[in-house]
């Protein structure tokens, strides 16, 4: 059985006619920690959107946990994503009128696992990420940026995903909070044996990772002028 959780092969993707990404190969092994950097506009978020199955490549394939995403319907990709991928967005994307706990439980219910993780598991995971039950009971809008970020991390990890992808999740944090968040996140991903693909232009974070990738080096596409 393959231990790969991600395989991108002969990938071509563009939002418009000009390709943004031309990528021969990108693989991530189970439990591996990969740091992906690149300047603004180099295609980092586009690559994560492909890996999440939010968009499909023009050519080539993206397989997550052994499944080629193009072989699934849009609803099938939603289920596959909820089950096998954890995603932490730069702006966290929490549902503002729900409590932190309900944000997490909503994600858990979408994971399609026979018996979805419940409140007890959510609280235990939250505790490992230093979020108390009292804080989790607050609406997302009533939490600090750092607390919202940890709720987003709990939501991303509640189904123990094979692969966790994170798009600049520390950009709103000061140095101390950033380092502490990285420690908590990577400790938990190790506990779950989740691979991590972490996107950032902040090279100070690279030391936390097993492998460093520079997107412009991997990417054969010519950057769009003006980007």
Residue numbers at the binding site for ligand ATP (CB under 6 A)? 15, 20, 38, 40-46, 224, 227
The helix (run of H) or strand (run of E) holding residue 191 is: helix 175-192
Q: How far is the CB of 134 from ligand ATP (least distance, A)?
A: 34
Residue 65 or 206 with smaller CB distance to ligand ATP: 206
The nearest distance, CB 223 to ligand ATP, in angstroms, is: 7
CB 14 within 8 A of CB 58: yes
Q: How far is the CB of 204 from ligand ATP (least distance, A)?
A: 16
CA-based diameter of the chain, in Å?
51
Q: Nearer to ligand ATP by C-beta: 38 or 86?
A: 38
Question: Quick one: which H or E segment has residue 177?
Answer: helix 175-192
- CA–CA separation, 84 vs 106, rounded Å? 16
Minimum gap (Å) between residue 17 Cβ and ligand ATP:
11
Residue with Cβ nearer ligand ATP (36 or 108)? 36
Structure tokens at 58: 């023009």
Gap between the Cα atoms of 85 and 63, Å rounded: 12
**Considering beta carbons, is residue 1 or 74 the nearer one to ligand ATP?**
74
Q: How far is the CB of 21 from ligand ATP (least distance, A)?
A: 8
Residue closer to ligand ATP, measured from CB, 19 or 117: 19
Beta strands 59-64 and 67-68: pairing type?
Answer: antiparallel
């Amino acid at each position: 059985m393959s231990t790969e959780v991600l395989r991108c092969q002969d990938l071509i993707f563009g939002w418009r006619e000009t390709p943004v990404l031309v990528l021969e190969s990108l693989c991530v092994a189970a439990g591996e920690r990969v740091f992906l950097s690149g300047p603004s506009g180099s295609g980092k978020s586009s690559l994560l959107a492909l890996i999440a199955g939010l968009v499909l490549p023009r050519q080539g394939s993206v397989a997550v946990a052994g499944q080629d995403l193009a072989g699934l319907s849009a609803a099938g990709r939603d289920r596959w994503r909820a089950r096998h991928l954890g995603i932490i967005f730069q702006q966290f994307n929490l549902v503002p009128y729900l409590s932190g706990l309900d944000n997490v439980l909503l994600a858990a219910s979408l994971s399609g696992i026979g018996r979805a993780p419940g409140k007890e598991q959510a609280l235990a995971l939250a505790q490992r990420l230093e979020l108390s039950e009292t804080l989790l009971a607050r609406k997302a809008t009533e939490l600090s940026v750092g607390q919202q970020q940890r709720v987003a991390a709990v939501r991303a990890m509640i189904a123990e995903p094979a692969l966790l992808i994170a798009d600049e999740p520390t950009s709103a944090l000061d140095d101390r909070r950033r380092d502490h968040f990285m420690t908590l996140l990577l400790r938990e991903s190790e506990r779950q044996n989740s691979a991590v693909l972490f996107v950032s232009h902040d090279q100070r974070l690279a030391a936390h990772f097993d492998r460093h990738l520079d997107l412009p080096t991997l990417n054969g596409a010519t950057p769009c002028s003006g980007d």
